[in-house]
Homo-oligomer: A and B are copies of this chain.
Amino acid sequence: MNLSGPAPSSPIAKVYVTELQDGNTVVTYFICSEKQIQTTAQNKPFLRLKLRDASGELAAIMFDVQPEVAESFARGDVVKVEGMYGIDDRFGPQLKIRRIRPVARNEYDEDALVPVSPVDQAELADRLHTLVESVAQPHLRALLERATDASREPGASFSVAPAAVRNHHAYLRGLLEHSLIVAEVAGGVAGNFPTVNRDLVLAGALLHDVGKTRSYSLDLLQPGLTDEGRLQGEIVVGHQIVTDLIAEDPHFPPELGGQLRHIILAHHGMKEKGSPVVPATREAVIVHYCDDMTAQIGAIDFAEHSAPRGERWVYSRMLETMVYLPPADGDGPDPR
């Protein structure tokens, strides 16, 4: 971001992509998620942009742009725009920009720009606390307290990271939300089996995706994978984080540590899906299946939210099949 002069001191009012109406005059801020400088037949530069906020994305165009303005911001920067929103009969919705400039950090609210978990932050913290406190084995509980301590890594990232680069759970605190539901389901399942170590299941479930804290970009304005995430893979990164945490406790029972690390490696369930070892313990079996099962239920929820109301069938790209959305009558709960 290339800012000249002192930063303006007052926040800009936010208007969301999903609130725009045909013919509106717009003055607000967005992330610039795509930027192209093109030239007209008359050899004049113009800008084609994509602008994004927490609610969605919008195409924009700016003619008669001064070169210094065109160069004043980059893809990924937050910009203030003034313009006219309209729906072109050939090209669809578009913002015609008259003025644009990059903005300072104090002029905008980042929450307005990046998607956030629909679950309240305090609720997530409560659920996490409840789960960790329910662990009886002292070394496992201490490990979980250490791992989820938001004042240091990996806990600091764990409390904010997304659970995916796009679509489902690709929002702030998505990782925490996903880890909690897997742990809650897996902990419940463990209770049905006397031969299963519930503490180990909870620890494995809460930490199964902890590698995403270093594998995914934490800057949600510019989502993507890190070099480490691509070269080593999120499973191995997570295994390394857990191995290092265990090493901090010299009295951690080594066999218990071996089993916990195994759960991280095995949680994709099969080699074809990137797990270098397959589940060899009951606890690894449970974490793997609860991860897959909650992810598929989440995929159906996601498909439902993007379907027109009343539609009975919608395609889920994640499941690679049509899913059925039952009508909300006496047969079952209203899914929406």
Contacts and interface: CB of A to CB of B under 8 A. Distances in A.
A188 interface: yes
A262 B89 contact: no
A300 interface: yes
A282 interface: yes
B87 A38 contact: yes
Contacts of A236: 236, 239, 265, 276-277
A240 interface: yes
Determine which residue in A188, A231, A255, A286 has the highest number of CB atoms from chain B within 10 A of its CB, and name it: A231
B321 A280 contact: yes
B300 A281 contact: yes
Interface in A282-304: 282, 285-286, 289-290, 292-293, 296-297, 300-301, 304
Contacts of A297: 193, 195-196, 282, 285-286
A45 to B, nearest CB: 10
Contacts of A118: none
A21 to B, nearest CB: 9
A110 interface: no
A329 to B, nearest CB: 8
A326 B39 contact: no
A107 to B, nearest CB: 30
Interface residues of A, number: 84
Contacts of A87: 38-41
Interface stretch (A68-76, A166-174, A267-275): A267-275
Interface in A65-113: 86-89
Contacts of A233: 265, 276-277
20 contacts: A23-B43, A39-B89, A41-B87, A185-B192, A188-B191, A194-B333, A195-B335, A197-B332, A227-B324, A230-B324, A231-B265, A231-B324, A232-B261, A233-B276, A236-B276, A236-B277, A255-B331, A256-B332, A259-B324, A259-B331
Given A40-B87, A231-B324, A275-B276, 15 more contacts: A38-B89, A137-B330, A137-B331, A188-B192, A189-B189, A189-B290, A255-B329, A259-B326, A259-B331, A271-B273, A280-B321, A280-B322, A282-B300, A285-B297, A286-B293
Interface of A: 22-23, 38-41, 43, 46, 86-89, 137, 181, 184-185, 188-189, 191-197, 199-200, 227-228, 230-233, 235-236, 239-240, 243, 253, 255-256, 258-259, 261-262, 265, 271-282, 285-286, 289-290, 292-293, 296-297, 300-301, 304, 312-313, 319, 321-324, 326-327, 329-333, 335
